[in-house]
Structure 1
Amino acid sequence: MNQKTILCVDDEINVLRSLKRLLRNEDYQLITANSGTEGLAVLAEQQVSVVISDQRMPEMTGTEFLSQVKEKYPECVRVVLSGYADAATILDSINKGAIYRFLTKPWNDEEIRITIRQCLRQHELLEENRNLTQEIKLQNAELSKLNQRLEDLVGKSTQSLHFSQEVLASIPIPVIGISAEGIIVLVNEAVDQMFPELRDIHLGSDIKDAFSNEIYVTVSDCLSGTKPVETDSLDVFGRQVLAHCKRLTNGEELRGCVLALEEKP
């Protein structure tokens, strides 16, 4: 883990020297600045985890300084150190600087150490949250791309399906699709045109209820695979037709069959 940096801002040199002596053995880098302007210059050039600022400084107060830090470096944890612990100063610092802690002068050495450790932990949490948020954004962007690809594929598949249905509907030979369970799932337009007697066929009907026993036996033999010949000569409403029945499988799984009726010349 990279060493963290603490920035202390105070216009009193003796205060900064005291903080350096107090924190010289801690496991982080301590840098100082004599004003808010100087502190902002440091922040512009160096990554800082925690800023501890005096409240009453010339030209720029601690509240004004930390307000700019909040705007430019929101993940930098901010602490006010002031010898004037009146309620108005505290409230103003909280509202404008979004401070994490308010410490008073003279300070308690152990309180300073504990507060800085807590601030460093808070900074780590903010960094983890930022990284997690960024990771979620990247994952969401990738998910959005995958969804778009899926929508494109579905769109293309739907177009292909519609086209296939149009082609099937326009074939001048009566075609009937039958599921593995013997249920009618497809009837093209040529069935109605060439065999008006079959116009009452409804999707979802059982093959044995829609056709003659002769056709039912042909389809049943086709589905079961007991009859190797895929073409039969049948009588359909007094007309001789060739019934072409083709089994449809997916590997070893039976999906159904297609029955095509061709009137003999």
Structure 2
Amino acid sequence: MNNKIHVLYIDDEDNNLKSFRATLRKDFKIFTAIDAEEGLRIAQEEEIHVCIADQRMPGMTGTEFFEQMVKINPDPIRILLTGYSDIASVIDAINKGEVYRFIDKPWNIEQIKNSIKNAADIYFMRSELKDKNEKLKKLHSEMNQFVYSLSHELRGPLMSISGVSKLAKMEITEPHVLEYFDMIDSATLKLDDFIYKMLDFYRSTKIDNKVTKIFFKEIIDQQLEAYRTKFDLSHFKINIQINQDHKFLSDDAKIRVILNNLFSNSVQFQKQTPGEKWINLTIDVTESEAVITIEDNGIGIDDKYKTEVFSLFTRATQKNVGTGIGLYMVKEAVEQMGGRIELGSVLAEGTTIKVVLPSIV
């Protein structure tokens, strides 16, 4: 197996090509081309790690050659040979990102050796990163299938258990037996909630955003219907105000994760004492951003926990509810969309959370 660095050298002077090959063939695998056309053919057919081209060539300059080469094989690291008089072209090439570096003519053997080795290091590092990126994409796709398949496989039997429990409760009158089935219902509800949290966790941590038009009223109406099925909201006064006269582009799934977890927290972390319980949700949409504010008069958050509540598996209360991942998912989703989140809370008085999201162009 040949582990040498593969170098392509293009120059219209045949003597330069022969000298280059003779001097460097012991250290590198050398390909040479007498003009740009031959160089492009070699770059397309061979595995090239580093490409060196003279700037001044008839028909096509070195810079123009690299511009064409990028279209057929962008991977090789490019080095330009040039004289001082060509400095304007060199600067233009570097600014466009077409060349790794340039070398003055006449070139020094040690200088060009070091340049080739450094350029090859970059080539192999990029190649390794490219391979890892492909593996990550594959893993991401498999994880996507796994999460949705797992949630489906778990929820099917879970709903069967819940259904059988409800049927049994219709036929049983003994209080102590009904209590057992209530325990089953409570456990299945917690597990079902955890499955939803798992899906939300996956959606909130996805790096890519699936951008669509967002209509906040439709989202809130749909989620409120689900909340009323999931929670007993009969003791809550819920005030919702949505001001959206502008088009807003964002990731629908992540916005639902944000709203779902913020609203769930406002419901679950309420005081157990008598008195009015309220939740205020306001959404203001401008041409450039959406501001989501949710307030409640729940148990609040102690000052010592305020810097930790957005960390994974952190609970800011001893109350036995929640999974400790809700606000973490909110923060992740907000950051993935380039937004920011602000927390204000007073222990035993309530909490206000403000989320600002930019419209994704």
Pick the TM interval, shorter chain.
0.5 to 0.7
Structure 1-normalised TM-score? 0.63
Does structure 2 conserve the Cα–Cα contact (< 8 Å) formed by 1:63 and 1:96?
A: no
What are the Cα deviations for residues 211-261 of structure 1, in whole angstroms up to 9, with x where unaligned?
A: xxxxxxxxxxxxxxxxxxxxxxxxxxxxxxxxxxxxxxxxxxxxxxxxxxx
Inter-CA distance 146–125: structure 2 relative to 1 (3 Å threshold):
same
* Aligned partner of residue 79 in structure 1, secondary structure: strand
CA distance in 1 between partners of 2:152 and 2:2 (Å): 45
Q: Does 1:15 align with 2:52?
A: no
The superposition leaves residues 57-103 of structure 1 with CA deviations (integer Å, 9 ceiling, x where unpaired) of 12211111112222332221111012345431211221345211101
Aligned to 1:166: 166
* Secondary structure at the counterpart of residue 143 of structure 1: helix
Larger radius of gyration: 1
Q: Which residue of 2 aligns with 1:72?
A: 72
CA-CA distance at 1:50 after TM superposition: 0.7
Partner residue in 2 for 1:40? 40
- 1:149 is aligned to 2:152: no
Moved beyond 6 Å, runs of 4+:
none
Output the CA distance in 1 between the equivalents of 2:184 and 2:29. Answer: 78
Residue equivalent to 1:258: none
- Tell me if the contact between 1:67 and 1:96 (Cα under 8 Å) persists in the aligned partners: no
Residue type matched to 2:11 in 1? D
Instruction: Give the whole-Å Cα distance in 1 for the aligned partners of 2:107 and 2:159.
Output: 75
Q: Which amino acid aligns with 2:146?
A: L
Q: How does 1:1-265 map to 2 (within 5 A)?
A: 2-3=2-3, 4-26=5-27, 28-96=28-96, 98-171=98-171, 173-174=173-174, 176-178=177-179, 185=183
Residue type at the aligned position of 2:65: F
Alpha-carbon distance in structure 2 between the residues aligned to 1:69 and 1:81: 16
TM-score w.r.t. length of structure 2: 0.47
Distance in structure 1 (CA, Å) of the matches to 2:25 and 2:68? 28
Question: Match of 1:153, as an amino acid?
Answer: E
Instruction: Tell me the amino acid that sits aligned with residue 124 of structure 2.
Output: E
How far, CA to CA, are the matches of 2:119 and 2:66 in structure 1?
15
Q: Secondary structure at the match of 2:9?
A: strand
Partner SS state of residue 26, structure 2: coil
CA deviation profile, 1:142-184 (whole Å, cap 9, x unmatched):
21121121111132133213322332233264463446xxx97
Q: Which residue of 1 aligns with 2:319?
A: none
Question: Quick one: distance in 2 between partners of 1:78 and 1:142?
Answer: 36
Distance in 2 (alpha carbons) for counterparts of 1:141 and 1:48? 31
Judge conservation of contact 1:85–1:104 (CA < 8 Å) in 2: no
**2:274 is matched with which residue?**
none
Mark the runs of 5 or more structure 2 residues left unpaired by the alignment: 186-361
Q: For the residues of structure 2 that align with 1:167 and 1:106, how far apart are their CA atoms?
A: 90
Relative to structure 1, the CA distance from residue 85 to residue 50 in structure 2 (aligned partners, 3 Å threshold; closer, same or farther) is farther
Structure 1 unaligned spans of 5+:
188-265
Structural RMSD (CA):
2.4
Q: Deviations over 1:95-117 (max 9, x none)?
A: 34521110111111110111111
**Residues 172, 178 of structure 2: 8 Å contact kept:** no
Q: Contact between 1:6 and 1:29, CA under 8 Å: does it hold in 2? A: yes
163-172 or 61-70, larger mean C-alpha shift? 163-172
Alpha-carbon distance between aligned partners in 1 of 2:105 and 2:113, rounded to the nearest angstrom = 14
The one-letter code matched in structure 1 to 2:7 is I
1:78–1:97: 8 Å Cα contact kept in structure 2?
A: no
| Percentage of identical aligned residues | 32
